[in-house]
Chains A and B, each alone.
Chain A
């Protein structure tokens, strides 16, 4: 019996080895077709279609008769995959003579694309710090070369700062983001703040418009709110989830904690004295019973529902445009009780707020892949959407049909469109889809119209004027993924989030201090020194890219 078993075992082993060998052979062959973009095999000729002209966008020149079919992968399940049915995409379809098939998915699907080797023509992802972006040169086509060969007009509509920012080591730029704000955008004053300390107007007035700037005032007012409005939660903040809600860097920005040390090295803003003294104040407010335990457990949906029903008396709110719909719902149902921005907590060291907005990295980033069937057409899509015309189309639709331009250059939606937007969101979304097809959307075009933001947040944006300060130097400064420092940082970030929550919820001062001390020693144990060095180094590179002294 055992002889038989042995024989079977050996046979099995041989069989397995054989299978393994053939599997290796097959996968080895499959991997061969990698770098086709480099030798420009698929760089189609446009000779019989048009001659490039630096002064005219190529989509106006292209004589290609048949419709170009492009597949466009968006790494987000929520992306609306319709194309050509609503006003915005119908116009794109007609102007460019294209048909786009959208595919959506998550990181899993993205990985299968890379592994399977059958890439879509265009690809949009969200994390500019991911390895996919770092290795773009192996799978995407460089925008510089594409522009030169197919559409030089691209360089007129793309922001040079943004292109520089995304340059890889080979000196080329492969992807272009949306909501990328350059220094010039900040300087223009056209980008609105998205952070505010807000209070319900009725509460604010009932209490006699108290100041909440100092730590004593802050605690006192919260207690007053609790006695006079017992049904409300005195103080709220963005849902924490796996991050720090709005109590971490957002609060630091609000208090004007410096971005770097004086010598330009990385500054650990979490340990800033001024900021920590405010965390202690929050702890005091918690012990007074003025911060609800639910706030630490609520997810995004639960938080939004509280905003919608006006449950919080005051809020440190990050992302006012994202909450705009909810704030508007509360305002419409409760006129006169709407949330308004006030100065709120102030730095004890006399700093001014340094509010953050979308940085130069932006949000989604789009690529033309090496498998693209018609890179000339794809490039035209980029140029079209980035141009003034495309931007206005995405945000406001078609002039005369959905919006009109006023004498001062601002844009106004036509009354019936506006009415639909306010009263029948579903139909508006389906038929117009404005402000939603935002692959290359930018804040500067939103600033053109009064209609771009809901009424409920305009006062908050007004309050934030002059308080924005670019955080460019702090963008993408984390250690590269896969390094021990990156793992250390992940652990530290998680630790910081729990530390922050534990500090706010500390039972007494001793517990507060020991939690903080624990965090400090955790830093030391997880190669914080090295992380700081890497960050300082990357901050220096950022400054070089952007020409900041």
Chain B
């Protein structure tokens, strides 16, 4: 018996050791490139061109960031990005929750038809050109609302929320109604607080999507004042790429390289989203779980 315990211990110790070392390798694989991106973004153009460093830059420089931030309109873009993400997420979550709440009620008439129609949209979409024509006829071209209104509704999110709401016992709704609560009160005071994990998950997904999206801008916006951060930085990158081509006259002093500007851009755009992650993470995990179980 004694031997058995020792053997088990040895087994699990080997398992642990293996586990830890594999996870360590895995972490290193993820962390080293990230770290490299960060320190490279703080390197001078010359050090970057020469290359050959992994953990510490040869020459510290803020030039890459200066190149990105020297364009004053970047703050305007930052404002657009933040507001479109914030307004977009809040309205999206609220709108999807309302629809999901409605569709979760078995007594709704025509519920099956709505669900079926919704499912069709999950498989088919109009395509780029028809969508453009639609947006155009709605008068959304060159309007801030093109970021919000078309992104208001996602059937995927509705399905997740619908399933979540269905898990809430019917009796809860009944007792609330007996106590005199109306549909709005039941929805706002009971269902929404109970489904925070699902809401947070969808907010997270949608927020990352809104933050990173630049196709909407590319297609529907020509007014520079409405450019979000992503589009602005995309412009800065392509312009830095062609700078050497256009400056045919040739300048001897170039502090930044295209790569440096790209790396600085990556850091700038990723930072806010990374900062949001820990805040929402605890909801996120349980939300994923709940969404995964379907009735």
A424-439: which residues lie under 8 A (CB-CB) from chain B? 424-425, 428-429, 434-436
| Residue of B whose beta carbon sits closest to that of A8 | B113
| Residue of B whose beta carbon sits closest to that of A417 | B249
Q: CA of A333 to CA of B46 in the docked complex: distance in angstroms?
A: 11
Flag if B235 contacts A304 (CB, 8 Å).
no
- From known contacts A106-B218, A118-B136, infer whether A328 and B258 are also in contact, taking CB-CB under 8 Å: no
Q: Is residue B259 within 8 Å, beta carbon to beta carbon, of the partner chain?
A: yes
Q: Which of A105, A106, A436, A453 has the most CB of B within 10 A?
A: A436
Choose among A77, A111, A424 the residue that contacts B235 (Cβ–Cβ < 8 A). A77
Contacts of B253 in A (CB 8 A): 423-425
Contacts of A115 in B (CB 8 A): 129, 132-133
Q: Is residue B270 within 8 Å, beta carbon to beta carbon, of the partner chain?
A: no
Q: Is residue A406 within 8 Å, beta carbon to beta carbon, of the partner chain?
A: no
Flag if B249 contacts A12 (CB, 8 Å).
no
Beyond A8-B113, A456-B250, list 20 extra A-B contacts (CB 8 Å). Answer: A8-B116, A78-B239, A78-B241, A81-B224, A112-B219, A115-B133, A116-B136, A301-B259, A309-B50, A322-B244, A325-B250, A328-B250, A328-B251, A422-B249, A425-B243, A425-B254, A429-B246, A429-B247, A435-B247, A435-B249
Flag if A326 contacts B249 (CB, 8 Å).
no
Flag if A325 contacts B218 (CB, 8 Å).
no
Flag if B234 contacts A116 (CB, 8 Å).
no
B53-81: which residues lie under 8 A (CB-CB) from chain A? none
| Residue of A whose beta carbon sits closest to that of B110 | A8
Contacts of B117 in A (CB 8 A): 12
Flag if A80 contacts B239 (CB, 8 Å).
yes
CB distance from B234 to the nearest CB of A (A): 7
| Residue of B whose beta carbon sits closest to that of A102 | B222
CB distance from B85 to the nearest CB of A (A): 23
Contacts of A8 in B (CB 8 A): 112-113, 116
Q: Is residue A421 within 8 Å, beta carbon to beta carbon, of the partner chain?
A: yes
| Residue of B whose beta carbon sits closest to that of A319 | B245
CB distance from A414 to the nearest CB of B (A): 14
Flag if A322 contacts B129 (CB, 8 Å).
no
Q: Is residue B242 within 8 Å, beta carbon to beta carbon, of the partner chain?
A: yes
Q: Is residue A321 within 8 Å, beta carbon to beta carbon, of the partner chain?
A: yes
Contacts of B133 in A (CB 8 A): 27, 30, 115-116
Contacts of A507 in B (CB 8 A): none
Q: Is residue B104 within 8 Å, beta carbon to beta carbon, of the partner chain?
A: no
Q: CA of A5 to CA of B112 in the docked complex: distance in angstroms?
A: 9
CB distance from B96 to the nearest CB of A (A): 23
Q: Is residue B108 within 8 Å, beta carbon to beta carbon, of the partner chain?
A: no
Q: Is residue B274 within 8 Å, beta carbon to beta carbon, of the partner chain?
A: no
Flag if A309 contacts B49 (CB, 8 Å).
yes
Flag if B49 contacts A305 (CB, 8 Å).
yes
Q: Is residue B128 within 8 Å, beta carbon to beta carbon, of the partner chain?
A: yes
Number of chain B residues close to chain A: CB under 8 A: 39
Q: Is residue A60 within 8 Å, beta carbon to beta carbon, of the partner chain?
A: no
29 contacts between A and B (CB under 8 A): A11-B113, A12-B117, A77-B238, A78-B242, A108-B128, A109-B218, A111-B128, A111-B129, A112-B128, A112-B129, A308-B257, A321-B248, A325-B243, A325-B244, A325-B254, A328-B250, A328-B251, A328-B252, A329-B252, A329-B254, A422-B250, A422-B252, A423-B251, A425-B243, A425-B253, A428-B249, A434-B249, A453-B250, A454-B249
Chain A, 382-423, contact with B by CB distance < 8 Å: what is the 0/1 string?
000000000000000000000000000000000000000111
Contacts of A80 in B (CB 8 A): 239
CB distance from A305 to the nearest CB of B (A): 5
Contacts of B244 in A (CB 8 A): 304, 322-323, 325-326
| Residue of A whose beta carbon sits closest to that of B220 | A112
Chain B, 188-221, contact with A by CB distance < 8 Å: what is the 0/1 string?
0000000000000000000000000000001100
CB distance from B112 to the nearest CB of A (A): 6
CB distance from A521 to the nearest CB of B (A): 39
Flag if B252 contacts A105 (CB, 8 Å).
no
- A-B complex: 6 closest residue pairs judged by Cβ atoms: A454-B250, A425-B251, A328-B250, A332-B252, A325-B244, A78-B238
Contacts of A116 in B (CB 8 A): 132-133, 136
Q: CA of A116 to CA of B139 in the docked complex: distance in angstroms?
A: 12
Flag if A421 contacts B113 (CB, 8 Å).
no
| Residue of B whose beta carbon sits closest to that of A321 | B248
Contacts of A12 in B (CB 8 A): 113, 116-117
CB distance from B83 to the nearest CB of A (A): 23
Q: CA of A424 to CA of B247 in the docked complex: distance in angstroms?
A: 11
| Residue of B whose beta carbon sits closest to that of A105 | B218
Q: Is residue A451 within 8 Å, beta carbon to beta carbon, of the partner chain?
A: yes
| Residue of B whose beta carbon sits closest to that of A426 | B70
Q: Which of B116, B128, B222, B254 has the most CB of A within 10 A?
A: B222
Q: Is residue A475 within 8 Å, beta carbon to beta carbon, of the partner chain?
A: no
Q: Is residue A84 within 8 Å, beta carbon to beta carbon, of the partner chain?
A: no
Flag if B249 contacts A451 (CB, 8 Å).
yes
Contacts of A329 in B (CB 8 A): 252, 254
Choose among B222, B224, B235, B251 the residue that contacts A325 (Cβ–Cβ < 8 A). B251
Q: CA of A105 to CA of B224 in the docked complex: distance in angstroms?
A: 12
Q: CA of A86 to CA of B237 in the docked complex: distance in angstroms?
A: 22
Chain B, 99-121, contact with A by CB distance < 8 Å: what is the 0/1 string?
00000000000001100110000
Q: CA of A305 to CA of B50 in the docked complex: distance in angstroms?
A: 8
Q: CA of A456 to CA of B248 in the docked complex: distance in angstroms?
A: 11
| Residue of A whose beta carbon sits closest to that of B254 | A329
Q: Is residue A185 within 8 Å, beta carbon to beta carbon, of the partner chain?
A: no
CB distance from A154 to the nearest CB of B (A): 27
Q: Is residue A202 within 8 Å, beta carbon to beta carbon, of the partner chain?
A: no
Q: CA of A178 to CA of B8 in the docked complex: distance in angstroms?
A: 79
Q: Which of B50, B235, B249, B253 has the most CB of A within 10 A?
A: B249
Choose among A111, A301, A323 the residue that contacts B241 (Cβ–Cβ < 8 A). A301
Contacts of A327 in B (CB 8 A): 250
